Chain A
């Protein structure tokens, strides 16, 4: 299957700071990537759709000014959590589609802890 990487794998930051998470498709190009977050003992929740060369689309209830998404190339999408607060602590996961049917392949996730 196709490979997606994320960096960093985990990050601890102070409240009020910004954190950038990178999502890379290593062996395929992705015009669209998706960002999810997962709280403990819950399922994945879609946050936004990242579109190469255009604005991201956000799911209802997700603040676009807080979760900045940039998809500047066909292999890289970034999610920046601005002015992070403890309630933003979560597991953030990205995915990209590969193959004719755009089967989604997921990154290993980034665990964010905001103190």
Chain B
């Protein structure tokens, strides 16, 4: 699976949009971009994933560049409860396709 690069940490004011970037320049054509987050002392929570089109759900939006070498996770109105480590992972779909976690981005949402 392709490796990803994320900033180590970011800050965001509550109520503002949080934009978390991820580089995955070696992504293959059959690999999806997945985003998870881990709030302290909990298991990772699935947020969103996409192949090449932009995706939106109740939690976030995922913007993938046309060349698929990078993406941005957008939390439209960050709250204090969004403070967590966010992981961007590229992965082939399928039963045996595991997730390889990097170091992620620690997002701190402040008042």
Contact = CB atoms under 8 A, between A and B. Distances in A.
A111 B93 CA distance: 29
6 contacts: A1-B46, A36-B101, A46-B100, A97-B95, A101-B49, A106-B46
Interface residues of A, number: 27
A30 to B, nearest CB: 9
Contacts of A101: 32, 49, 93-94
* Interface SS of chain B: loop
A101 B87 CA distance: 19
Interface of B: 32, 34, 36, 38, 41-46, 49, 87, 93-104
Contact of B99 (A1, A6, A34): A34
Question: What 7 pairs across the A-B complex have the smallest Cβ distances?
Answer: A106-B43, A101-B93, A44-B101, A43-B101, A109-B43, A106-B44, A32-B95
B45 A106 contact: yes
A49 B49 CA distance: 22
Contacts of A6: 43
Which of A32, A43, A111 has the most chain B CB atoms closer than 10 A to its own CB?
A43
B46 A103 contact: yes
A102 interface: yes
Contacts of A34: 98-99
Interface string A5-28: 010000000000000000000000
A101 B36 CA distance: 16
Nearest to A52: B95
Nearest to B44: A106
